[in-house]
Amino acid sequence: MARKPHPEPPPEPVDDAALFRDAIGPVRELPTEPTPPSKPRPRPAARMAARDEAEAMSEFRRAMSADALEAGDALSYRRESVPPRTLQRLRRGEFAAQEELDLHWTDAKHAEAMLREFLVHARQHGLGCVKVIHGKGLNSDSKTPALKNLVDRMLRHRSEVVAFASAPTNQGGTGAVLVLLAPKR
């Protein structure tokens, strides 16, 4: 009987890392990098101050809504420096609106921001009379025209506004207001 040749032992696994180190020779190890600083802690929030501010705003809005205008009420306001005759001319539509802003279908928060931006833009460009269309509020859930009341309150407190009145019927009636602005300084 013939002998079977002995199987050769399997080759030893090659250690790639050892082969690489042998090939490049001795190396100098780099110093370890220091650990990066940790993230700074967030600044503490003034929760009580924010709550007080929110309560004050809520109280202010409640007080302002006590004298709410109705859908058919006309807006009218003038600073003491403006003659009554100017307000009468504004009511009759004798001033041409140089630009207008339509607030239909916007919520109060966006309407407030849009009106502020519009008035600043109008003042910067030297406009004397602008029209703000707020609508009559006939579709309002609260049965009071929210945008009309917002526009009335805001215009009374803006320094660039010297007078305003509801537009004549052919220009929007009680759903729009004509606003006279102070001249640009």
Residue 59 covered by a domain: no
Residue 165 lies in a domain: yes
Identify whether 79 is part of a domain.
Answer: yes
The residue range of the domain holding 134 is 71-181
91-98 long-range contacts (CB < 8 A, ≥24 apart) are 91/165, 91/166, 91/168, 92/168, 93/167, 93/168, 93/170, 93/171, 93/178, 95/128, 95/129, 95/178, 95/180, 96/129, 97/129, 97/130, 97/131, 97/171, 97/178, 98/122, 98/127, 98/128, 98/129, 98/130
pLDDT of residue 65: 54
Mean pLDDT (whole number) for 75-85: 91
Reduced to 3 states (helix: H, G, I; strand: E, B; else coil), residue 1 is coil
Q: Is the pTM of this model over 0.85?
A: no
pLDDT band for 71, please (50, 70, 90 cuts): low
Q: Is the residue at 173 inside a domain?
A: yes
C-alpha to C-alpha distances, 128 to 95, 125, 162, nearest whole angstrom: 9, 9, 10
What average pLDDT does range 17-34 have in this prediction? 84
Within-domain flag for 90: yes
Q: Could you tell me which residue, 8 or 152, shows the higher pLDDT?
A: 152
In a domain, residue 129? The reply is yes
Joined together, the tokens standing for residue 164 give 């305003």
| For residues 90-100, average pLDDT | 92
Number of structural domains in the chain: 1
Average pLDDT, the chain: 84
- Per-residue pLDDT at 1 exceeds 70: no
8 Å CB contact between 126 and 117: no
The structure tokens listed for 133 are: 């269309």
